[in-house]
């Protein structure tokens, strides 16, 4: 049997294989962030036909201030739980596990979408959102936002999810605190050390554990490297992975940082493998690698080469649920 189709455990949760559908936005939620028939059908089809062991849903905002775009799904309110329960039931019927990705857009948000002033680690405009100067978050706001992540995780568990993934990548709030490009603070959350830059993320982890339970699997999608001058580096990524593993993370999902979900100048399968290889040598928890994988053969090769423990296949599955046939 191919190693790709061998089971693997995340915390105490056993996946039937090592193929993962990573988060990709459908923008098909209703105006309140609720799950629609279109969202449910999209995930059920991929659970049925895409040969995957785990789905990680598109990013769901944990508070109105953190909403990134219209049509984004939400776990910010209790009213969203029944719709998500319908979706998780559909996916489980296909024998596939499912995690919810929890997110806050930070300075990437817009008041035109949220009705609120964007916030972030510092009063620095996001590279993709130059129209509004965000407010620097107070310590109290940081603590309240960590609590919002925790409550969203509790709702996810009540909705039947098998775990959650905390979104700390792609230029969103937790990635902004991690990146020296966006974080110019002078307090304990500032860029002076990787320990400081991951402090908010670790407080989110603690809040999730308190609210959802110690036995609920928690992954972190980390934008480990910015691949930009003055940004986070491979050494930072490896140090952050160690810190997160020691803080109770069950799965590390490595990807690019503030510049988005691509690596400039690279299109080869597994183009973030510099980070995933280093992480596997540094930690004892599973590592998920996503990026540029379009065939089963490519996914199998990356596993055999020791690049990761699980492989994510994104755009190929997004385009065609029968991608592996």
The residues spanned by each domain of the chain are 3-319
Distance (Å, whole) CA 248 – CA 251? 9
Each residue's pLDDT, cut to its tens digit, for the chain (325 residues) gives 589 999 999 999 999 999 999 999 999 999 999 999 999 999 999 999 999 999 999 999 999 999 999 999 999 999 999 999 999 999 999 999 999 999 999 999 999 999 999 999 999 998 877 778 999 999 999 999 999 999 999 999 999 999 999 999 999 999 999 999 999 999 999 999 999 999 999 999 999 999 999 999 999 999 999 999 999 999 999 999 999 999 999 999 999 988 666 676 667 899 999 999 999 999 999 999 999 999 999 999 999 999 999 999 999 999 999 999 8
Q: Which one, of 83, 77, 96, 72, lies nearest residue 24 by Cα?
A: 72
Judge whether 231 and 180 are in contact, CB under 8 Å.
yes
The whole-number pLDDT of residue 262 equals 66
Rounded to the nearest angstrom, the gap between the alpha carbon of residue 211 and the centroid of all alpha carbons in its chain is 19
The pLDDT value given to residue 1: 52
Angle at which helix 273-282 crosses helix 234-246, to 10 degrees, equals 40
For residues 308 and 296, give the distance between their C-alpha atoms in angstroms, rounded to a whole number.
Answer: 15
* Secondary element (H or E) of residue 56: strand 54-61
| Statement: 3-319 belongs to CATH 1.10.8.10 | no
Q: Give the CA-trace dihedral at 82, 46, 23, 273, to 10 degrees.
A: 150
pLDDT at 261: 65
Q: Are 277 and 253 in contact (CB under 8 A)?
A: no
Residues 6 or more apart whose Cβ sits within 8 Å of residue 26: 38, 39, 42, 58, 71
> Counting Cβ atoms within 10 Å, is residue 241 exposed (0-12), middle (13-18) or buried (19+)?
buried
Tell me how crowded residue 15 is: count the other CB atoms within 10 A of its CB: 20
pLDDT attached to residue 19: 98
pTM above 0.85, yes or no: yes
Q: What is the predicted pLDDT for the residue at 288?
A: 99
CB-based contact 238:278 (threshold 8 Å)? yes
Q: Can 227 be counted among the known catalytic residues?
A: no
pLDDT at 267: 76
Q: Which of 42, 172, 189, 271 is catalytic?
A: 172
């Amino acid at each position: 049997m191919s190693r790709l189709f061998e089971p693997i455990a995340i915390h105490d949760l056993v996946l039937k294989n090592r193929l993962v559908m990573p988060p990709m936005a459908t923008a098909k939620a209703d105006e309140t962030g609720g799950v629609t028939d279109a969202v449910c059908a999209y995930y059920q089809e991929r659970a049925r036909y895409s040969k995957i062991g785990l789905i990680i849903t598109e990013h769901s905002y944990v508070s109105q201030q953190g909403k990134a775009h219209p049509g984004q799904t939400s776990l910010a309110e209790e009213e969203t739980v029944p719709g998500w329960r319908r979706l998780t039931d559909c996916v489980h019927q296909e024998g596939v596990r499912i995690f919810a990705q929890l997110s806050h857009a930070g300075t990437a948000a817009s008041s035109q979408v949220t009705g609120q002033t964007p916030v972030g680690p510092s009063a620095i405009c996001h590279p993709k959102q130059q129209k509004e100067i965000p407010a620097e978050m107070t310590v109290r706001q940081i603590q309240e936002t960590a609590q919002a992540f925790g409550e969203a995780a509790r709702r996810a568990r009540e909705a039947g999810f098998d775990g959650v993934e905390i979104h700390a990548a792609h230029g969103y709030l937790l990635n902004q605190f991690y990146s020296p490009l966006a974080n110019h603070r002078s307090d304990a959350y500032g860029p002076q050390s990787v320990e400081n830059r991951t402090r908010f993320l670790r407080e989110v982890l603690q809040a999730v554990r308190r609210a959802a339970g110690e036995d609920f699997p928690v992954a972190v999608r980390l934008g480990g490297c910015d691949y930009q001058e003055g940004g986070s580096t491979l050494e930072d990524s490896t140090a952050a992975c160690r810190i997160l593993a020691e803080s109770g993370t069950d799965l590390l999902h490595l990807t690019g940082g503030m510049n988005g979900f691509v690596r400039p100048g690279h299109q080869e399968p597994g183009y973030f493998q510099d980070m995933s290889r280093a992480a596997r040598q540094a930690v004892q928890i599973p590592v998920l690698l996503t990026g540029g994988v379009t065939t089963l053969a490519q996914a199998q090769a990356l596993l055999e080469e020791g690049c990761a423990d699980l492989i994510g296949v994104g755009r190929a599955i997004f385009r065609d649920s029968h991608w592996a046939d």
